[in-house]
Amino acid sequence: MELSVNVDHVATVREARGGTQPDPVFAAMVAELAGATGVVCHLREDRRHINDRDVRLLREVVKTRLNLEMAPTEEMVAIAREVLPDIVTLVPERRQERTTEGGLNVVHQRHYLQTVVEMLHEADIRVSLFVEPVLEQIEAAADIGADIVELHTGHYANATSPEAARQELQRLHNAAEFARTMRLRVAAGHGLTYDNIVPICRIQAIEDVSIGHAIVARAVYVGFERAVRQMVELIRYGRLLPPLALS
Ligand code: PXP
């Protein structure tokens, strides 16, 4: 299982003072040295953390895979086609939200999103769609030519009882297996932490995880390199455990 580190909140700390430190570009290089196999950043419409300069520099320095998260807007598609990240992850975006709140509604926006996917494919960019672990959404993602689905793990992360967490793992497992039958690569992300990552690693069909906030939060105490390395080790350990006993 591959770990992509989201560096948005390194930029959040920088923006708290409007200066130049800490630099998400530097953090990306440290993440790669610590074993991450990808770097993610979300260029939001309001540029509240990552900005255009960050994306351009990240493209130059990231040697693993650069995954640009963005809303499927004309402005963002033009930036992606110029910067050429390895992957674009399309996410819904609302100005007032604190972080991405839900998955894309691919079923309802099928035609529009298909055009966006085609424009990104023309530039040789692989496209991932961030969706809820819901079969109709995954089927629609495959139909419009997505390469990857990233399953939203927010409900799992926010589960308030072991039984609720188990139900969410079951949903993620079913969705991931279904996506594989549709020949999609499967990623997962949102709200994943050192405490909840291991059961996700035990879902074999999930091949990538995208983690930001938990790593940046731990980095405050132990340093960025160590925080990434600890997550890499935990993922390796989780992958060695037998698959989850789900139906
Ligand atoms: N994946 C997607 C699509 C996201 O929007 C985010 C948040 O930016 C993440 C993963 C990472 O979430 P977290 O910061 O909670 O690890």
Name the residue of 7, 100, 208, 211 whose CB sits within 8 Å of the most ligand 1 atoms, as the mutation to test its pocket.
100
Name the residue of 6, 49, 130, 137 whose CB sits within 8 Å of the most ligand 1 atoms, as the mutation to test its pocket.
6
pLDDT at 95: 66
pLDDT at 100: 67
pLDDT at 102: 87
CA of 210 from ligand 1 middle (Å) equals 6
Active site residues: 42, 69, 190
Nearest atom of ligand 1 to the alpha carbon of 6:
11
Within 10 A of 97 (CB to CB), how many other CB atoms are there? 11
pLDDT at 169: 98
| Residue nearest ligand 1's atom 3 by CA | 130
Contact 22, 10 (CB under 8 A): yes
- The architecture (CATH level 2) of 2-240 comes to Alpha-Beta Barrel (3.20)
In this structure, what token pair is assigned to residue 81? 């086609």
In this structure, what token pair is assigned to residue 203? 């879902």
**Burial level of 162, CB count in 10 A (0-12/13-18/19+)?**
exposed
pLDDT at 98: 72
Nearest atom of ligand 1 to the alpha carbon of 215:
16
Alpha-carbon span 92 to 17, nearest angstrom: 28
Nearest atom of ligand 1 to the alpha carbon of 91:
3
Tell me the CA distances in angstroms from 44 to 177, 181, 227, one per residue in order: 31, 32, 25
* Burial 121-133, CB ≥16 within 10 A → b, else e: eeeebbbbbbbbb
pLDDT at 93: 85
pLDDT at 56: 98
pLDDT at 58: 98
What are the E-state strand segments in 71-218? 87-90, 126-131, 148-152, 185-189, 208-211
Determine which helix (DSSP H) or strand (DSSP E) holds 203, and give its type and residue range.
none
> What are the per-10-residue average pLDDT scores of the chain (247 residues)?
98 97 98 98 96 98 98 98 98 76 93 98 98 98 98 98 97 98 98 98 98 98 98 98 86
